[in-house]
Structure 1
Amino acid sequence: MVMIMFGDGVVAQVVLSEGTKGEYININLCWGLGVLFGIHVSGGVSGAHLNPAVTTTLAWFGRMEWRKVPYYVISQILGAFVAAFIVWVVYYPMFNVIDPEKTSTQGVFATYPYSNDVPVGTCFLTEVVGTALLMGCIFAIGDELNKPANPYTQPGAVALLVVAIGMAFGMNSGYAINPARDFGPRFFTWIAGWGSEVFTLRDSYFWVPIIGPLLGGPIGAGIYVGLIEHHHPREYKHPLEGQ
């Protein structure tokens, strides 16, 4: 929830001020800071699971029990939904000024293609690539036999990673790289008056920021494990495996 409040909040400020109170770099940086503080807030309770793509990838690789996954994912989606609601309440007067008919500001909360010139397939590829980078680098950041970040600096490293992904691969699809970050706020916009178009726009685009990250996460992790972690000493076992 904390991550989405910062992330959707900065997009709201940039969009509703029509660029006078921020620009794209502000969005990149604030999403990264949202990840940082989200990790610090939830790290001691859930292990900082903010993203279903991360949660399911860890389960695929035996580093989390599958029985816990549904509870984590539901919590992530609900937290994102509540965060979107809070952002909407805070900026409610300006939403009414800028978009009283609720036809143009749905992108404050969920991700959409940059323009009609960007095919849905390209957006899907972007989400796969972005999330693969996310998970591959997360595995590297915590890999004790590689060049891991200090435990105290790992939240900052992940935050910078998200900033970098946004700066490099953010244009096409808005870099959801997180199904909960997109679906929870998108569902909120549907019930808050933006209508069913939030699900049907661009050939029912809503599936892209769900399936793309869920596919990209294991791909990125698998590449890291296959090319790097697999070549660690054979007696090595990841500390989370089997838990």
Structure 2
Amino acid sequence: MGAVENFYSFNIGGLTFNITPYLVIQWVIIILIALVSVWLTRSLKEIPDKKQNVAELFVETVTKVVSQNMGEEFLGFVPFIGALAIYLLSMNMTGLFGVAPPTKDYTVALSLASISFIVIQAYAIKRLGIIHYFTGYAKPFAFMLPLNIMERIMLPISLSLRLFGNMLSATIIMDLLYEALGHATWIAQIGIPVPLHFYFDIFDGTIQMVIFVMLTMINIKLTVEH
């Protein structure tokens, strides 16, 4: 995966915390998303203007996706799914601005997958009750207990590895392309990579976001119904 140079490191209670470039990029993305969200939802009107139409279209789209894939009873997840989608998509597309996507770092991908995992398990416990939740691991037969536990544990691992592997490979391909073109002439670096940026940053970045979000929604529904 390669070493990432830290901007700053500090210790709290004997634990070392590192401020990495990927962490700073995530902070910038969070701030930008927050500012855009405030701007889009500021001064809401009964007859929406253009910016309000954009906000409402996004909310309606996420609501429709959640309703169709999870059911009306799961509409409370619209804010979480919407935030996850726009945050993940923003990180996947930073390559368009000459910045390596944070999701090429496995710790970032694993953190996102862990959030989905915690949300899934916490909601299942809240919905089913802690006793029913844990007895569900032994269904349909008691000997399935180890397999069911492994299945749950593998969820964040599979989510993170899929996201990390695709984004890292895309970044490596683009880096090799720019290096090869740089040996030829710097002018070639201006136009030739554009189609590949469209594929790896926009198309593949969007596909990876959709897969991650869809698997999160499906597992929320399946875990509750276990």
The structure with the greater share of residues assigned to strand is 2
Larger helix share, 1 or 2: 2
TM-score normalised by the chain length of structure 2: 0.33
